[in-house]
Amino acid sequence: MKQLGRNDLCLCGSGKKYKHCCLKIEEAKLASGHSGTAPKALNWLFEKYGQEVYDTLLTAFYGGLDDDEYTQIQNLPEGISNGITVNAMEWLLAEGLITIKSCERRVIDLLFDRGAPLFSIEQRHWLELLSTTPLRLYEVVGIVPGVSMTLKDVLLPEIQSVTVLEKSGSLDANLYDLMGVRILPIENHFELSGAVYPFPRSRVTELLEDLKNEFEGVEPNSPLGKEITSVLIPDYWLELFVTPLDTPTMVDHTTGELLLFITDHYRVNDWLSLELALSNEADIEGSREDGWNRIFEGDDGQTRRSLSIDIGTRQERIKVSYHTQLYADQGRPLFEALAGAAVTFISREISDPKGMIANSQHNNTKIKQQSESLPPELLTKIIEEKIQQLYADWADTPLPILDGLTPHEAIRTPEGLDQVKFLLHSYEHGEIQQAKDQNREAVSYHFLWRSIGLTP
C-alpha cells in the first residue's frame, strides 16, 4: 500500500490535506501526556506487590484454564505469548483485584494511593478511563487503511458505531473482523486502549450465547455488565490457544448424507437436442443462458435441488453438479438417459467440504501458491461457481446455528434477523480474508442477501 504523503488528501474524507487533518491527531497521540503510563504503573506494581500480582493474574485472568492449558499458554511461540502478556497486563490495570493483608484492593486504587508513582494529570486521566471503560465485543464495519476503523457493538447493534483513530491496526483489519477492545475518548477523538482480543467468526458462537444469557436483565454499562465482559471475553479468547478447532461435519438436510461437491463434465455434441430433452421434463427448470436445475419437494415442504447443469468454462462443455453421493448416483443415469447422444461424458470431480476446510487450515501456504498459478479473474470465477453451488438452497435450508430454522423463517423475528445478518457477515468475512491471501477480488454474497429479501 502506498504511503500517504503529508500533502495528499486525507483518507478520512474531510477534503483536507493529511498534514492538516488526521496527521495532527496522530502526532498528538505520539506526544500525548499519557504516553508511558502503563509501563510506569506496571513496574511499580511488580516491584511493590510482585507475588500478589502474580497470584491475581493466575487465578483471575488465567483462571479459566486448567494446569495443562496454562502450560500450553506458557509454551506458545514468543510472538503469540507476548500478545497474551500485553492483554494480561492491561487487564491487570483495568480490572485487577489483589489481596493485601487479607484485604482485597483494586489495582487502580493502589496506583492512586499515597506512596504510588507520581502520575501527570494526563496519565491519571488515562488510567481512570482505562478502569471505567468496559471491554466489549465489536465488529469492524468500516476501514480507512492507515487512518481509522469504525466499530459496532455486537451486543448492542442499535448503538451508533464509533470511529477510532488506529493507524497500524487499520492496515491489517478486514471488514467484519470481530475483536474485544476498550474504546477510550481522548480529547476530540476515540482510540483503542491497546489490548485487542481478536476472535475468528467461526469460533465466537458460544461466547455470544454466554454474553447474551449473562446480560439478560443487566444494564450493559453497569458495574455488573462491565464485570461480565471483563471475565468472559478473556476466558474465551484464551481458549482459542488451547482448544483445537473441530472441523464441522456437513450433511444434506433432506437425505442426512454427508455433503460432497460432485461435478460431472460433459462435451455437448448437439445443443438443440439437449435443450429439447431438458425442456420436456416437468421437474427440470432453466435455460441454456441461466443453466438448469432439477427440483423436488422435500419432506418438510421446501423446494430442493438434486442437480444443477451449468455452461462450462470451455466452449461446448457443460457441468452437472450434485452435493451428495446419493444425488449423484441417482442423477447421472437420469441425465445421461435424457441427454442421450447429445452429450459425451468426460470426467468426474469430487471435493469433500470437510477436507477442504481442514486442508485450508493446515496448508494455507500451499493453497496460496497454487492459487497464484491461476489468473485472479479465473480463480474468482471458479470460487464463485462453488459458492453458488454450495448455497443454492441456503434460504430454505434449516440451519443448526439458527436453531433449526431456515434463514427465511429466522428473519421473521428481530433476534433472528440479527442472527442471519451476523451469519451473512461471517460468510463475507471469510471470503474477504481468502481473497486477500490469494490476491484476487472477493466474491460477492449479495445473491444470498437478495434470496431472503434483504439489502446488504
Decide: helix, strand or coil at residue 216.
coil
pLDDT tens for residues 185-223?
988 899 999 999 999 888 898 999 999 999 999 998 899
Residue 371's pLDDT band (cuts 50, 70, 90): very low
Among 3.30.70, 2.30.30, 1.10.600, 2.40.50, name the CATH number for the domain at 133-243. Answer: 2.40.50
Q: How many CB atoms lie within 10 A of CB 173?
A: 18
Give residue 301's pLDDT: 66
Q: Which three cell numbers stand for residue 19?
A: 498534514
Give residue 440's pLDDT: 86
Hey, what CATH class is 259-360 in?
Answer: alpha beta
Report the C-alpha gap between 288 and 273 in whole angstroms: 12
Question: Sheet containing 148-153: which strands, arranged edge to edge?
Answer: 162-165, 148-153, 136-144, 178-181, 197-199
Residue intervals of the chain classified under CATH 2.40.50 are: 133-243
The conformation of residue 61, written as its DSSP 8-state character, comes to I
Q: Which three cell numbers stand for residue 127?
A: 488510567
For residues 33-54, one letter each, b for 16 or more C-beta atoms within 10 angstroms of the residue's C-beta and e for the rest, the string is ebeebbebbbeebeeebeebbe
Question: Between residues 287 and 30, which one has the greater pLDDT?
Answer: 287
Q: What is the pTM of this model?
A: 0.65
Among 254, 433, 263, 247, residue whose Cα is nearest residue 353: 247
Give residue 253's pLDDT: 61
The conformation of residue 152, written as its DSSP 8-state character, comes to E
Beta bridge partner(s), residue 319: 265, 310
Report the C-alpha gap between 219 and 225 in whole angstroms: 6
Give residue 26's pLDDT: 47
Q: What are phi and psi of 79, to 5 degrees?
A: -60, -45
Whether pLDDT at 251 is above 50: yes
Whether pLDDT at 324 is above 50: yes
Residue intervals of the chain classified under CATH 3.30.70 are: 259-360
Whether pLDDT at 366 is above 60: no
pLDDT tens for residues 151-180?
999 998 889 999 999 988 888 889 999 999
